[in-house]
Amino acid sequence: MTDLASAHVLVLGATGGLGAPIARRLVAAGARVSLSARDGSKLAALADELGDSVVTTVAVDLTLPPGPGQAVETAHGAAPLTGVVNAAGVVAFGPAAELDDDTLDELLLLDLVAPVRLVRAAAAVLPEGGFIAQVSAVVAEKAMPGMAAYSAAKAGLTAFDAAAATELRRRKVRVLDVRPPHTETGLATRPVAGEAPRLPRGLAPDAVAARIVAAIADDERDLPAEAFSDRPEGS
Ligand SMILES: NC(=O)c1ccc[n+]([C@@H]2O[C@H](COP(=O)([O-])OP(=O)(O)OC[C@H]3O[C@@H](n4cnc5c(N)ncnc54)[C@H](OP(=O)(O)O)[C@@H]3O)[C@@H](O)[C@H]2O)c1
């Protein structure tokens, strides 16, 4: 078991539809948290809500090369870190043959390159018993037409996590790859390009967050899509 009551966890994408309930669930389990995203005012509002459980906030753009390292260094400098949860990400829709360069760059930088840099930065500071939970997606297991680049970025992340998990196991640092199905966070309504297809009702964000935090606490090593309840929000 990972004792969350004595943990300090950095949450990236903390103001997002998944990041915020993950941060709330971690705090409910007794953890202290540091919160990161780009928008400082949203970070301040969440920090106000979570009160004394917040160690620090870090406004960084994770697509920039120093971003992941800055988030880790600032949080770890404020109090030694036990773990990191990466719930920052973007999606894009549209035919693969029409993908433009800016969209491709943003998707790959945030959804694949930043998590790789994050593992590098976190591995340098996490203690034995520490953890890195990365939110990949169900499309890493089953690529979706109309989401080719997003599927590729997430499949790449999941592959990276599998290899890094084996390497870091020797140092007793756990890498947990998390692949949720579609979840009602509103992500699909703010793509960096294209328009979402008609999607079935997704999972409830708080239920997905609860499952992720339970997996962290229970020392689970992989969280595939099938590990999430298939009960849509509101049913
Ligand atoms: N929702 C789903 O159906 C679903 C399903 C499976 C997996 N996922 C994955 O779960 C993760 C979270 O998704 P979500 O639904 O919670 O999305 P969301 O509500 O849009 O939240 C995204 C978070 O990432 C931050 N962010 C965006 N661009 C950033 C950047 N360049 N640098 C730093 N932070 C950045 C956002 O804050 P700022 O804009 O202020 O930076 C926000 O906190 C993503 O990786 C997504 O692929 C989502």
> Model confidence over 215-229: pLDDT tens digits?
999 999 999 999 997
CA distances to 16, 58, 147, 171, 186 from 94, rounded to whole Å, are: 23, 33, 6, 41, 18
The tens digit of pLDDT for each residue in 2-48 reads 999 999 999 999 999 999 999 999 999 999 999 999 999 999 999 99
Using pLDDT thresholds of 50, 70 and 90, give the confidence band for residue 235.
Answer: low
Work out the average pLDDT over 143-166. Answer: 98
Owner of token pair 């203690």: 127
For the Cβ of 57 lying below 6 angstroms from any atom of ligand 1, the answer is no
Residue-averaged pLDDT of the chain: 96
**Which residue type occupies 146?**
G
pLDDT digits (tens, 9 = 90+) for 74-83: 999 999 999 9
Are 9 and 83 a contacting pair, CB within 8 Å? yes
Q: What is the pLDDT of residue 229?
A: 78
Check whether 231 has a pLDDT greater than 80: no
Say what the pLDDT of residue 234 is.
60
**Three-class secondary structure of residue 234 per DSSP:** coil
The percentage of the chain sitting over the pLDDT mark of 70, rounded to a whole number, equals 97
Cβ distance 72 to 120 under 8 Å?
no
Share of the chain above pLDDT 90, in %: 96
Pure H helices in the chain: 19-28, 40-50, 67-78, 101-108, 114-123, 148-169, 205-217
CB-ligand 1 contact for 16 (6 Å cutoff): yes
Q: How far is the CA of 220 from the centre of ligand 1 (A)?
A: 23
First CA to last CA across the chain, in angstroms? Answer: 32
191 C-beta closer than 6 A to ligand 1: no
Looking from the CA of residue 91, the nearest atom of ligand 1 is 47
Please give the C-alpha separations between residue 1 and each of 25, 76, 231, in angstroms, as whole numbers. Answer: 16, 22, 27
Instruction: Give the pLDDT of residue 137.
Output: 98
Mutate to test the pocket of ligand 1, among 11, 18, 24 (most ligand atoms within 8 A of CB): 18
User: Does 233 score more than 90 pLDDT?
Assistant: no
Does residue 61 register a pLDDT over 90?
A: yes
72 within ligand 1 shell (Cβ under 6 A): no
- Could you tell me the domains of the chain? 4-227 (3.40.50.720)
